[in-house]
Amino acid sequence: MPTAHLPTTPPSPEPLILLGAALIDGTGAAPVEDSEIEISDGRIVYAGPRRGGTPTRSDVRTVDLSGSTILPGFIDAHVHLGLSIEDQQADAARFDSERTLRTALNARRTLLAGVTTARDLGGIDRGIRDAIVAGLIHGPRLHLAVSALSPTGGHTDFTLPNGRAVPMPMPVHPIIDTDDDVRRTVRLLIRGGADVIKICTTGGVSSPSDTPDDLGVPEEHVRLIVSETAKRAGQPVAAHAQGAEGIKAAIRGGVRSVEHGYGIDDEGIDLMLENGTFLVPTLSSALRVPDPDRVPAYLYEKKVKWSAIARERIAAAFAAGVRVALGTDAGVCPHGENLREPVHAVELGLSPMQAIVAGTKNAAELLRLDDDLGTLEAGKLADLIVCDFDPLTDITPLARPDNVRAVIQGGTVVKDTAARFGPEPHRPRLAE
């Protein structure tokens, strides 16, 4: 089983008791209107209704959060911290050192938006993950794919028809054409610290030489990859899959999640329900049409077409009851606006509570971290966010990072814009 790469920051220097907020615990249960949460050594000791007669203890910091709402820290199951697709030309001219620092800044923005855990599905190596664990930089705890795999001419073959490469390198060469390519590349990824293997069973919107309807990694190679990971830690396989046939090939091959899923047809929906496959719909990317002056023409044209398709077909998948875990595809859309994703999910048919569960409990299950994360229950890691509105009444304010007033990650306060948690010693410090 993969580790959760914890703790990302040192535990809070003293225990915390949070009183009075409405508690949405991520399980889907009704909110607790006057709640109490006790945190010690980075984990939740108690989460539920306010306990009568709680003794005053000098070693516990008590924080009154009356009028606020507490939710679990969100999990963004699809990010690319090292990528900004509307900044490719400028990025190509940068030194590697600057790109690394910009990746660290993206990680920090993601954390402060309310995402305490994320899954990066291609573009960074384990150095960023390890730097967060060591306290060298601030960011969500990470699961990594390292590189996303496709055949020649597929979604991660960043080569123009004239043979020139688009500047979107992967840490491990992503092209797999033969059985031997498949085995060796999966082994290289796992050796390099991959927590998940990402494959591309279709082309894509952002790639220069294919389309979402094109088939990529074939079903037989999907099966081979699943078989190869079963010999290790059983790393889940995530499939970039946008066109209907490639989506079905991924599901039949045994993937744990379909990423995007924009063109899923009714047969594909039935297969997802039958196999319990997760859908990570990346609506923040799917529904956002970029400025045509900032992206290549091929990308803009495909985006217009596939945004309309996604709006219709993802809504159909939601209505059918597929398992949904939220992910933004940040990097294709802006970093640090991650909680726009549950807002879009509600726009396409989920209830606010379903959207919250999809971004917390379900996402933790997808990453196989649900023993520690995803819900606010005794024994779980103390990852939570605080806002000053009721997201079950109106979830749209979540889309603005400023409306996430506080973020606690592993028991440590990493954001506190309303200064409710006390003096500077309770802010996180980077390792020295």
CA angle 259–265–270, rounded 5-degree value: 85
What single-letter DSSP state applies at residue 20? S
* Beta carbons within 8 Å of 47's beta carbon, 6+ residues apart: 23, 25, 35, 36, 37, 38, 376, 377, 378
Q: Is the pLDDT at 87 greater than 90, yes or no? A: no
- Name the pLDDT band for 3 (thresholds 50, 70, 90): very low
Question: Which residues is 215 bridged to in the sheet?
Answer: 202
pLDDT at 1: 37
pLDDT in tens, 375-415: 999 999 999 999 999 999 999 999 999 999 999 999 999 99
Query: Which two three-digit tokens encode residue 289?
Result: 């049409």
pLDDT at 292: 85
Mean of the pLDDT values across residues 150-177?
87
Place of tokens 């400028």: 90
Indicate the CATH number for domain 74-366: 3.20.20.140
Place of tokens 């020295």: 432
Mean of the pLDDT values across residues 153-171?
83
pLDDT at 4: 45
pLDDT at 8: 47
pLDDT in tens, 323-353: 999 999 999 999 999 999 999 999 999 999 9
pLDDT in tens, 217-275: 999 999 999 999 999 999 999 999 999 999 999 999 999 999 999 999 999 999 999 99
The boundaries of every CATH 2.30.40.10 domain in the chain are: 16-73+374-426
pLDDT at 286: 94
2.30.40.10, 3.40.50.261, 2.40.128.720, 3.40.605.10: CATH of 16-73+374-426: 2.30.40.10
**Distance of alpha carbon 414 from alpha carbon 108, whole angstroms:** 10
- Name the pLDDT band for 117 (thresholds 50, 70, 90): very high
Percentage with pLDDT > 90 across the chain = 80
3-state SS string for 294-325: CCCHHHHHHHHHHHHHHHHHHHHHHHHCCEEC
Q: Is the pLDDT at 96 greater than 80, yes or no? A: yes
- Name the pLDDT band for 142 (thresholds 50, 70, 90): very high
**Distance of alpha carbon 180 from alpha carbon 171, whole angstroms:** 19
The boundaries of every CATH 3.20.20.140 domain in the chain are: 74-366
Alpha carbons within 13 A on the beta-carbon side of 412: 23
